Structures are given as structure tokens and as C-alpha cells.
């Protein structure tokens, strides 16, 4: 069969498929004088360039090896083997540790070019470990024990995390419901360990973070997330809330908060947002331009909130109103345009006049292909 690229299969259950994606971004940010400076403005970049393969092996085995080569290095993304013949699947290798809807949704299918601020701020990333998933008709349970991202697995890194997520996802007639909760616990097993919570301003072409806690010592880290979403015909709504608590030795334990609420609508008749296995999925045009149609068009709006202030720690608070347009002329190509208005309080980076409360404008344009 063909899924952007050929999937080669045999009658006895083998399969093999090349995988890839390219995201070319033009994006920019306009801030008060003295904030981003020459590191802001409009710039272009390859946001992601993935190449890889996956396959199935008779008997219930599967694997994936994929990496992001956009930045001159090889950043391993999904690299795993799995085994499962029924509703239960066991996976060894590097995967996403089940930290919520926006993170678990592939970057190919997110509503906006960049994920919710808390996803980045709280350090969600793929980690090497052992995990399991139970998938019932309307229930999905995911959990695992993880070390660290493959790039950080030096011989003195003995950190350990336990992550889990439960998703209730009944289909009521044509309406897809999604209710979920996730939990995260992490022990760096290193008395000198630090964390730094910060997020880019919804624009990846700048490396400046307007909100940033700076380095904080950490004895352990605890996260709790709640998720809700609904897809009803062309409409969808989604929201998440996430609390990240830091245990520190000899200092107060701050809790930071992030979340978002979003609504969206697919404008082209007969098209709808995809959903699969506890995450949003591909927007497939019923009338692609290759069939004389105009593809699928979706508009989305989101309010995003990130609060990195707690007690004596002033990392800043960022609020954003985002609107976005997605155009999928065919299944595997997607053009995304975003505009965002940001309001920052207690910003890490002050303006030229020393002001730490200000607003900023961002925009982005992405051309994307995947197979």
C-alpha cells in the first residue's frame, strides 16, 4: 500500500516503510526594543527534517527508527521495538512518555506550528525506557519507566522517571470524546542536578525565551495533567491544564502551571479533524486538489497560559492568543499560517527601558510534507 511512501508488505505479516517529513518555516517576532534584538525579526529555518523507517514482523513485533537531521546533528526521535498481539503492547526504546494531548499529537497534526507553552517549558521530550500500553474500545492506559533522552545518556546520568496516562475516549454517535489524566515523577538521582523551565514565544526561529525560571536545583519533579477534547462534525474543542511541582532540598517547593483552551472548525464540507489512540490525527481532505477539489481548510483559535511565578521564583507569566489557518491540499502536504499576540508579565528579558511587562506579536508560515 502507499502512505505517502510505499509500504512493502508480505502475506505472512512482514511490512516495511520509509518515513520522512520536512517542515520549512518562515517565522518572526516583533518585541519592544531591547528584547529579542537581532535574534528576533523574520527568519527562515528547517523546523524538522526527519528520515527513518518502520516495520512489522510476524508474531506481533514492530519497530521504528527515525531521526531529525534538521540541525546538522542526528537527533533520535522514535527509536523502539514493540511486542503485542492483543490490546496490550510492550515497548522498549525511545518514545514520548505520555505527557498529555498536545505533546502526544504528532507535530504533523498539531493545531498550531508550535505546541502549548507548558509542553516546552516543563521539558517534555522523548526518553529511553520500557513502557506498556493497553488499548480497549474506549479506554487507553499508557505507562512506563524512563531514563533520559538518548542525547543525554552519559555514563553519570542515572535519572529515572515514571510516567502514566489514562484516556477515556468514547465515540458517542459521530462525536468523539476525549477525557484524560497524566502523571509524571522524576528523580535525577544526582545531588547537583538542576532544571530550567522556559519556553520560546511560539516562534522557533528565535532562541530567546521571554519567560524562564533560570536554573533551579531539583531533588525530584512531579507533574499532573488533565485533558479534555471533543470532535463533533467539523468542530472541535480541546483544553489541557498541567501542574509541575519541584521538590527541592532546603528550599520551598514551587508549583508552576500551564494550560490552554482551543476551538477549531474545518471549513471544507465533509472534512473533519482526525483522532486516533488518544491524540489528534491527520486532516484528510475528502476532495484533494488532485480530485479537482481545494483540499481541506481548518481555522483554529487558542488561548495559552504559562505561569512560571511561584513564591520567590519569578520566571514570568506568558499569555497568548493564537489564530491559525491550516490548508491540506492533499493528505500528505500541509500549509500552516499562524498569528499570535503575547502578553508577558515579569519577563526574563527586559525591554531597553527596563520594562518587564510588555506584549509581542508573532507570525509563522510553514510548508510541510511527510511520508
Binding positions for its own copies, 88-117, rule CB under 8 A: 92-94
Q: Which stretch binds its own copies (CB under 8 A): 131-139, 204-212, 227-235, 356-364?
A: 204-212
Tell me whether residue 158 or residue 171 sits nearer to its own copies (CB atom).
158
* Candidate list 249, 286, 359, 367; residue touching its own copies; CB under 8 A: 367
In the complex with its own copies, the residue whose CB is nearer, 303 or 371, is: 371
Query: SS3 letters for the chain?
Result: CECCCECEECCCCCEEEEEEEEEEEEEEEECCCCCCHHHCEEEEEEEEEEEEEEEEECCCEEEEEEEECCCCCCEEEEEEEEECCCCEEEEEEEECCCCCHHHHCCCCCCCCCCCCHHHHHCCCCCEEEEEEEEECCCEEEEEEEECCCHHHCCCCCCCEEEEEEEEECCEECCEEEEEEEEEEEEECCCCCCEEEEEECCCCCCCCCCCEEEEEEECCEEEEEEEEEEEEECCEEEEEEEEEEEEECCCCCCCEEEEEEEEEEEECCCCCCCEEECCEEECCCCCCCHHHCCCCEEEEEEEEEEEEEEECCEEEEEEEEEEEEEEEEEECCEEEEEEEEEEEEECCCCCCCCCCCCEEEEEEEEEEEEEC
Q: Please choose, out of 66-74, 167-175, 309-317, 351-359, the segment that lies near its own copies by the rule CB under 8 A.
A: 66-74
Which positions from 133 through 192 interact with its own copies, judged by CB under 8 A? 147, 150-151, 153, 155-158, 190
Q: In the complex with its own copies, which residue's Cβ is closer, 238 or 342?
A: 342
Q: Which is nearer to its own copies, 56 or 302 (CB)?
A: 56
49 lines the binding site for its own copies (CB under 8 A): yes
Q: Is 2 in the site for its own copies (CB under 8 A)?
A: yes
Does position 120 interact with its own copies (CB under 8 A)? The reply is no
43 binds its own copies, rule: CB under 8 A: yes
Q: How far is the CB of 82 from its own copies (least distance, A)?
A: 10
Residue from 10, 194, 249, 286 touching its own copies (CB under 8 A): that is 10
Q: Which of residues 71-90 bind its own copies (CB under 8 A)?
A: 72-76, 79-81
Exactly one of 132, 330, 337, 350 binds its own copies (CB under 8 A); which one? 330
For the CB of residue 336, give the shortest distance to its own copies in the complex, in Å.
13
Cβ nearer to its own copies, comparing 45 with 253? 45
Is residue 371 part of the contact set for its own copies (CB under 8 A)? Answer: yes
Provide the minimum distance between the beta carbon of 243 and its own copies in the complex, in angstroms, as a whole number: 28
Amino acid at each position: 500500500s502507499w502512505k505517502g511512501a510505499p509500504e512493502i508488505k508480505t502475506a505472512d505479516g512482514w511490512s516495511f516503510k520509509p518515513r520522512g517529513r520536512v517542515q520549512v518555516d518562515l517565522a518572526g517576532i516583533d518585541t519592544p526594543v531591547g528584547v529579542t534584538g537581532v535574534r528576533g525579526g523574520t527568519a527562515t529555518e528547517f523546523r524538522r527534517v526527519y528520515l527513518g523507517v518502520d516495520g512489522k514482523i510476524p508474531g506481533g513485533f514492530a519497530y521504528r527508527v527515525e531521526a531529525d537531521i534538521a540541525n546538522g546533528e542526528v537527533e533520535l526521535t522514535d527509536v523502539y521495538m514493540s511486542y503485542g498481539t492483543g490490546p496490550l503492547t510492550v515497548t522498549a526504546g525511545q518514545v514520548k512518555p505520555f505527557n498529555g494531548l498536545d505533546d502526544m499529537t504528532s507535530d504533523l497534526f498539531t493545531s498550531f506550528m508550535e505546541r502549548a507553552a507548558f509542553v516546552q517549558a516543563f521539558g517534555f521530550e522523548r526518553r529511553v525506557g520500557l513502557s506498556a500500553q493497553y488499548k480497549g474500545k474506549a479506554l487507553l492506559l499508557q505507562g512506563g519507566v524512563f531514563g533520559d533522552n538518548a542525547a543525554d545518556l552519559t555514563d553519570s546520568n542515572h535519572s529515572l522517571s515514571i510516567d502514566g496516562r489514562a484516556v477515556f475516549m468514547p465515540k458517542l454517535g459521530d462525536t468523539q470524546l476525549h477525557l484524560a489524566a497524566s502523571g509524571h515523577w522524576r528523580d535525577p538521582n544526582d545531588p547537583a542536578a538542576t532544571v530550567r523551565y522556559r519556553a520560546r514565544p511560539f516562534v522557533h526561529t528565535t532562541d530567546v525565551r521571554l519567560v524562564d525560571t533560570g536554573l533551579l536545583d531539583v531533588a525530584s519533579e512531579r507533574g499532573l495533567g488533565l485533558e479534555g477534547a471533543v470532535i463533533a462534525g467539523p468542530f472541535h474543542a480541546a483544553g489541557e491544564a498541567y501542574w509541575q511541582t519541584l521538590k527541592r532540598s532546603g528550599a520551598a517547593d514551587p508549583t508552576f502551571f500551564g494550560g490552554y483552551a482551543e476551538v477549531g472548525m474545518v471549513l471544507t464540507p465533509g472534512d473533519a479533524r482526525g483522532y486516533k489512540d488518544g491524540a489528534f490525527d491527520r486532516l484528510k481532505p475528502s476532495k484533494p486538489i488532485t480530485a479537482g477539489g481545494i483540499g481541506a481548510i481548518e481555522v483554529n483559535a487558542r488561548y495559552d497560559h504559562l505561569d512560571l511565578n511561584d513564591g520567590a521564583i519569578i520566571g514570568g507569566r506568558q499569555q497568548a492568543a493564537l489564530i491559525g489557518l491550516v490548508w491540506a491540499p492533499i493528505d500528505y502536504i500541509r500549509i500552516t499560517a499562524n498569528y499570535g499576540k503575547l502578553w508577558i508579565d515579569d519577563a526574563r528579558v527586559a525591554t531597553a527601558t527596563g520594562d518587564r511587562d510588555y506584549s509581542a506579536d508573532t507570525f509563522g508560515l510553514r510548508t510541510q510534507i511527510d511520508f
